[in-house]
Structure 1
Amino acid sequence: MATTRLTLAPILLIAAVLLSTETTAQPTAPAPGPAGPINLTQILEKGGQFTKFMHLLNITQVGAQVNIQLNSSSEGMTVFAPTDNAFQNLKPGTLNKLTADEQVKLILYHVSPKYYSLDDLLSVSNPVRTQASGRDNGVYGLNFTGEANQVNVSTGYVETRVSNALRQQRPLAVYVVDMVLLPGEMFGENKLSPIAPAPKSPSSGVSDDSNSTKKAPASPSDKSGSGERKAGLGFGIGLVVLCLKFLF
């Protein structure tokens, strides 16, 4: 019995060494790497119905601006993405009538410089600033109303529902809208041109004193003087006629 134990001891020792070697030789799972930078275009591409919006984001450079700000700002951003059908439902020529600066303003109007969840939009203080607002909160802002899980957005010119979220995770939220958000400042009755009017050319010959060449109306004193001269002239002619009667 003692001999058997002595014989098994080296075998067990060798087996233990082999098991420990296999355990240490197994590679450990690599730790997950840092998440890559957020790209708005890639998110829209996965949605599959935002070709026109992506095109406008590209030609106006707003898409690149959003990507840069997303990875450098602590406030995050919220994007309202109109579908291709939303653009098709616009009146013909709506976008073509806009200047390059107006197109930039329109696309900036679909981006808010702060992250909002759907719950945030239900309780947010209106109007909500957009990238088109600049420092003025009251201009080019969005108004949100709704209850439960339904949120509506109004521009003062159009109103539509905020649909499903393509992404709702800080620092970026992307929501689908079924209408292009046309700002009331550009398309409403009280339209405010986003471009300052060109100054009048001095060679145009038009001035504020253009009416100065018109003859000024006669004053009451001029009228009375004219009447007195006419009366005096009539009296003199009558006196001459009377004298001629006596002579002849």
Structure 2
Amino acid sequence: MSLQMPDQTKPAFQLTSSFIPQVVNGAARNILYGFLAADSDAGSQKGVKADTYGQLRLLQLPTDTQVPGPGQAQNKFNSDPEVSRELNLLRQGASDVLNGNLLTLPVGGGLLYVQPVYLKSTGETSYPTLQRVLVAFGDKVGFAPTLDGALKILFGGDSGASAGDSANNGQTTTPPGTTTPPATADAQAQLKAALDQANKAIQDGQAALAKGDFAGYGAQQSLLSAAIQKALDAESRLGATPAPSATASPSASPSASPSPSPSPSK
């Protein structure tokens, strides 16, 4: 991925790896001790290798500060109540939720974890589509339809960064013949109504299935999918409100941010 280490003036394509303590007697401490980046940009001039190609840069993290490793970051995502609620909502209906690669990025004297979340229909010709982006920094978690939105939630407003995906708000286009809700509509009320509709569709679908009414069950699944989409659209509008607050994870790590020092070597 394209990454800028602390001693670099611009981003470059690099391969990265995280280091955690060795497993001893079957016990492992999922604490980050180091972050290694290998410069993999061979250069743009034909036949000439870039001087920095193959250079290794190691960030050695302070031993007196417990910096959560990738495993702890994943557990933080999974245990966050808001994230769990949203993922459970996405899992309803005939869809699978797929977690993308968990990325570790050195940012602002600490480490930022980023993970995309995809939604894939169970149909044979379906393909995963990006629905949410998870981010974590220190003891806080952000979760939004876009990386820009997730960073704003994480840092309580303007993150000072632009991921270039703010226009991808996860909403679907309005079908012909329908009207778009006014901008002043109460998105929170719409979200609650959509969740109520989803719960009712689940209950009615189970009742139809118990009676052997497969046609009725299929109809309720369609209503469930529509309710889920309404809930996602309402949640997206809620995520667009200014200065949202970040949620603290139950498995929070110490709030002190590490101050890694780069050690370039060839």
Give the TM-score normalised by structure 2.
0.21
More RCO (CA 8 Å, sep 6+): 2
More strand by share: 2
